[in-house]
Amino acid sequence: MAERLQLDVITPERRLLSEAVDAVTVPGAGGELGILPGHTPLISQLQTGVLSYTQGGSVRRLLVSGGFVEVNSDRVSVLADLAEHPQEIDAARARNERDDAEKRLGAFTGTPEELTPLRTELDRANARLHLAAAEGSR
């Protein structure tokens, strides 16, 4: 059994992270997934939320949204539609995005298919605000 995990976080635009870590927690389709070295292989859909990882006793966090996580042996691959470091988050902009999405949700009269992107937008704004507050960014 490996003592560490190789964590890779990749979006269509960039490789956000590629590091050896002690543990990872990701927002999976069925809830939070805690992953340690030697974890059973799995593939899960990602939900919008905070991915956290432990490295040398310190906890670090990223925003992830959409995509999949794959666990194989000592490797965790996160293929996300969107991923951001806390320092990339503008909390004032996220508040405006949240307020706008809430206003549009309140007045929504469309189809369920049209509702999904709006909910994703709101979830992303809320996750950004949560991460910004936890990390003390702007």
Kindly report, residue by residue over 10-28, the tens digit of the pLDDT. Answer: 999 999 999 999 999 999 9
Read off the pTM: 0.86
* Radius of gyration of the chain from its Cα atoms, rounded to whole angstroms: 16
- CA 81 to chain CA centroid, Å, is 9
Q: What is the pLDDT of residue 1?
A: 52
Find tokens 């988050």 and name the residue: 89
Q: What is the dihedral of CA 135, 11, 33, 59, to 10 degrees?
A: -30
Return d(Cα 128, Cα 1) in angstroms, integer.
35
Q: Is the pLDDT of residue 2 over 70?
A: no
Return d(Cα 97, Cα 123) in angstroms, integer.
10
Kindly report, residue by residue over 37-89, the tens digit of the pLDDT. Answer: 999 999 999 999 999 999 999 999 999 999 999 999 899 999 999 999 999 99
